[in-house]
Amino acid sequence: MTIGWHFNNTYSKLSDTFKEEIKPVPVNNPELIILNESLASEINLDFSKIDKKELSKIFSGNVLPNGSNSIAQAYAGHQFGHFTMLGDGRAVLIGEHTTKVNKKYDIQFKGSGKTAFSRNGDGRAALGPMLREYIISEAMNSLNIPTTRSLAVVKTGENIQRETALQGAILTRVASSHIRVGTFQYIAAREKENELKTLLDYTIDRHYPEIKDSNNKAIDLLNLLIERQCDLVVNWMRVGFIHGVMNTDNMTISGETIDYGPCAFMDAYDPKTVFSSIDQMGRYAYCNQPLITKWNLARFAECLVPLIDNDQDKAVKIATETINSFEKKYEEKWMNMMRDKLGLFGLDNKDKFLILDLLTWMHEKKADYTNTFCHLMDPNLKKEKIFEENSFLEWKKRWEERSLKNNNTSKKCKELMRSNNPLVIPRNHKIEEALEAAEQNNLEPMNKILEILNKPYNEQKDIADYQSPSISDEKYQTFCGT
């Protein structure tokens, strides 16, 4: 029976500094909850001839595929601004699977038991957070946002203790790699330049081979990561996504969204929106995401200083100048993204005022972020009293006049908007409903929401319930799950 695994494990060949060789801790009674067959097909894997019992063994780590070589990766991280030496405390990378077109993917089990990096943790994960990551990471992929993906979730048949006893689960995560800013911080903290150079060369070889022969690989990598992370966070802002735990260990060098812990999507537009129960000061609020991205990139730049120039003062000066290019790049990308959301072609020096006036109105009126743009694309999509107010109608008149400039037509304007404004996002209360049902062995709500979120830009029948924000006045909170 051939599944199609093709492992070519390169990270595990690095020195022991970078990882610990360890197998997943076996579980008692694994049960497959969900398998992402379309992702399996994309990466040339075929599980169709394997029965559910065998699949449960595979995705719990009880049976490891031939050619795998499981490791826990070492990394550090600034967690809410405080530096900590970390590592995979509840995950193992089982190997790097290569597809027929030579694309390499990390296959990682999350919740697979204790490692050398677990500290006081049990190395396990609960069913709810693993299914949350599955739903939201797949939704992000459908929203055309770079992300790690989810291949499967299994229940372990064992309870884990958090505030209460919860069902244990393991998620199979697929990523183009798990190299993080925190990986560089871990190696840089050891102050061994040869190890830092090894990591730099490995990263470039894996993700950015186009700069392999450059004169200053470190600064070129920094520039590329600034671009990637700018693009990523602008995409988050486009759909109202709040990551919630933007620690440096959760920023990948590949530019993919990783770690869907306390993440959620904004309903009513408020730049200060925070959902995470542990983010008391709003460090990772919606409006702070660009600032934190720059802060994290500055920590990355600090790691690279020894490789930028032999003269430390000169290296710091170059790194600082490079990091300070972030604001201008981000603002330009954000402005272009907002123009796309509003269907505006070309540039106009009044665009910024038009955009900010809309956001100010949305904030004052507590208008739903996603649905406001849906209404602008097609007033029939969202008919609400709020859109009949004079202040909105006056703004709308200015927008309509601007949208017809630069040889634009109403049709072209709507097409641009359609590809940038989702009609449906993962609504927090619907996610909770699906997770609560799954806890009771009812997977119907989860399968339904996955089906709808798979086509966020398409008109679909009978989805009004998935497009409306919660009517509850209770503040929605998310939790890390560790």
The catalytic residues are: 249
Taking the C-alpha atoms of residue 329 and residue 7, their distance in angstroms, rounded to an integer, is 38
Cα 345 from Cα 336, distance rounded (Å) = 9
Distance CA 377, CA 250 (A): 35
In angstroms, the CA 47 to CA 35 distance is: 9
Q: How far apart are CA 213 and CA 223, in angstroms?
A: 15
What pairs with residue 155 in β-bridges? 31, 169
Q: Is 383 exposed, middle or buried (0-12, 13-18, 19+ CB in 10 A)?
A: exposed
Token pair for residue 266?
Answer: 């904004």
Bridge-partner residues for 35, per DSSP?
Answer: 152
Three-state DSSP state, 137: helix
DSSP assigned state of 350: T
How far, in Å, CA of 420 to CA of 343, rounded?
9
CA-nearest of 417, 424, 426 to 459 is: 424
Name the β-bridge partners of 154: 32, 170
DSSP state of 112: B
Q: What is the DSSP letter of 33?
A: E
Tokens of 83: 């530096």
Across-strand partners of 264? 242
The tokens of 480 are what?
Answer: 């890390």
Q: Are 32 and 59 in contact (CB under 8 A)?
A: yes
Token pair, residue 130, equals 């693993």
Parallel, antiparallel or unpaired: strands 125-126 and 165-175 = antiparallel
Angle subtended by helix axes 351-365 and 326-341, to nearest 10: 70
Angle between helices 326-341 and 217-239 (to 10 degrees): 30
Token reading at 429: 């209360």
Phi-psi region of 13 (alpha: psi -120 to 50; beta: other; left: phi over 0): alpha
Contacts of 172 (CB under 8 A, 6+ apart): 59, 107, 108, 109, 110, 150, 151, 152, 153
CA 427 from centre of chain: 16
381: β partners: none
